Chain A
Amino acid sequence: MIQLKSLLNCIDNSGASVVECVNVLKKKRAATIGDRIVVVVQKQRAAGSEGTGTTLANKVRRGDIRHAVIVRVKKELQRVDGTVVRFGDNACVLVNKSGDPIGTRMNGACFESLSSRGPMARGIGKSLATEIATSSNADTFPGVVGQELRGKQWSKILSLAPVHV
């Protein structure tokens, strides 16, 4: 349940660490996973703390207004098959106006990726890989909320998630 003034963790390497929601887009109620919101960067990561930080300066600064996609929420989320998922925090990934992610990878990944995938997921993965040239790791499929993000056409963001297992 993300709404005006909600603080979220930003989990990509765009340079923001904490952002504040200032608007929920295309919706008249609280936002949830996969929804697009407008945020203000409240805290930025210390530059150079990351391994790639030397070459990649912070792309956003404190006070910047950006769009973001929510990837984790504390409010439980029910799927059509009755499964309910709930996370320990609220998190998002910054995107630009056209919907492409600003960062190149997710730092604290929220997803559990799959070791064995069904044929359908594999097919989507291939089409994704051709679609997104910028993504470093297009063949990962997070399991926990991947379904929601994919359902809302955010496969681009899914492709940023690192592989576990």
Chain B
Amino acid sequence: MAAVPTMRQLGCLRSLIKTPEVTQSQIGRRFISSAYSQRPERVPLPPNLPKQFLSQIPERMQPDNGPKPVKVYPPPPSTRAACKDPVASVTESQLSVLDPKGDRKALFDYRRNPRSVKPGDIVRVTFKNGDPFNGVVLSIKLRGIDTSFLLRNELTRVGVEMSVKVFNPNVQSVEIVQRAMRKPRRARLYYMRSRKHDRRSVENVVAAYIRQKKAFLGNAKR
């Protein structure tokens, strides 16, 4: 390209005439990856474009093609404000139905009421259909409306355990037949299932109690 200087002397000046832009563009042509060119600005559509021309523009350039706003829904009204502790209120309402006078609750509230049933006592439960069940109280579970107690007895040399809900409407009465001989050091007397500590049958104790009770009631009548 460059002419031989001997032929055209002024030709050497051409390199000085060259603008730096051109040089840059050459570099740009060689190293595409390093070339930086600013993103072309989006040409706005003419403001008063007739509507019928819109269909000729590609879809992505349509004036209303941008992302649609996401609809944000407000959170539902909190029920917490309406009822702070729903479990407690349900328990209370159930207790008012099943135990209006609070007798049953007091009978098994062994942490507060000193006269209540306690683990180790012998208890007789009578159900509405007439079945009695006697046994040693192994544990009392205080769980609000689900409060229950576990009785253990032995019927014909077979151990029987029965867990009864305190507020069960099928339970007619709970009688304390005998208090524990001395205060047990545990709240749950599961060790009484082992052969060494098993209380075995309590039927004779209960039978004696019933006899005594009958005699007492008979005297009272007279």
Assembled-state Cα–Cα distance A88/B158 (Å):
6
Choose among A82, A111, A121 the residue with the greatest number of B CB atoms under 10 Å from its CB. Answer: A82
Q: Mark A71-113, 1 if CB is under 8 A from B, else 0.
A: 0100010000111111111010000000000000000111110
Given the known interface contacts A86-B161, A116-B130, the answer about A81 and B156 at a Cβ–Cβ threshold of 8 Å is: no
Interface centre among B130, B159, B163, B169 (most CB of A within 10 A): B130
The secondary-structure label for the interface of chain B is: strand
Nearest-CB distance from B200 to chain A (Å)?
11
Give B157's nearest chain A residue, CB to CB: A108
Chain B residues near A87 (CB, 8 Å)? 158-161
Q: Is the Cβ of A118 less than 8 Å from the Cβ of B165?
A: no
Please, which residues of chain A bring their CB within 8 A of the CB of B129? Answer: 117-118, 120-121
Cα A117 to Cα B126 in complex, Å, equals 12
- Residue contact A164 to B161, C-beta cutoff 8 Å: no
Q: Tell whether, in the assembled complex, residue A110 and residue B168 are in contact, meaning their CB atoms are under 8 Å apart.
A: no
Q: Is B170 an interface residue (CB 8 A)?
A: yes
Contact pattern, A 148-165, Cβ under 8 Å of B = 1, otherwise 0: 000000000000000010
| Residue from A84, A120, A144 within 8 A of B155 (CB atoms) | A144
> Does A114 make an interface contact (CB < 8 A)?
yes
A residues 21-67 with Cβ under 8 Å of B? Answer: none
| Chain B residues, Cβ within 8 Å of A89 | 158
- Which residue from chain B places its CB closest to the CB of A9 in the assembled complex? B158
| A143 CB contacts on chain B under 8 angstroms | 131-133
Q: Which of A82, A110, A116, A117 contacts B158 (CB 8 A)?
A: A110
Judge whether B116 is part of the interface by a CB distance below 8 angstroms: no
Q: By CB atoms of chain B within 10 A, which of A76, A121, A143, A164 has the most? A: A143
Q: How far is the CA of A32 from the CA of B169 in the complex (A)?
A: 26
Q: How far is the CA of A109 from the CA of B129 in the complex (A)?
A: 21
Q: In the complex, which residue of chain A has the Cβ closest to the Cβ of B161?
A: A86
B162 is an interface residue with CB less than 8 A from chain A: yes
Which residue of chain A lies nearest to B165 when distances are taken between CB atoms in the complex?
A82
With a 10 A CB-CB cut-off, give which of B131, B146, B148, B160 has the most chain A CB atoms.
B131
B164 within 8 Å of A (CB atoms) = yes
Q: How far is the CB of B214 from chain A (nearest CB, A)?
A: 12
**Are B168 and A83 neighbours in the complex by a CB distance under 8 Å?**
yes
Assess the B155–A112 pair: CB atoms within 8 A.
yes
Cα(A116)–Cα(B210), bound, Å: 14
Could you tell me if A81 and B158 are in contact, using CB atoms closer than 8 angstroms?
no
Give the docked Cα–Cα distance between A91 and B162 (Å).
Answer: 18
For A120, give the chain B residue with the smallest CB separation: B129
Asked whether A83 and B162 contact (CB < 8 A) given A117-B130, A121-B130, A143-B132, the answer is: yes
- List 10 A-B residue pairs with CB atoms under 8 Å apart, sorted by A's residue number: A81-B168, A85-B161, A86-B160, A86-B162, A87-B159, A114-B130, A114-B132, A116-B130, A118-B129, A164-B155
Chain A interface residues (CB < 8 Å from chain B): 72, 76, 81-89, 91, 108-112, 114-118, 120-121, 143-144, 164
Apart from A110-B155, A112-B133, A118-B130, list 15 A-B contacts with CB within 8 A: A76-B161, A81-B165, A81-B168, A81-B170, A82-B164, A83-B162, A84-B161, A86-B161, A88-B158, A108-B158, A112-B132, A118-B129, A120-B129, A144-B160, A144-B162
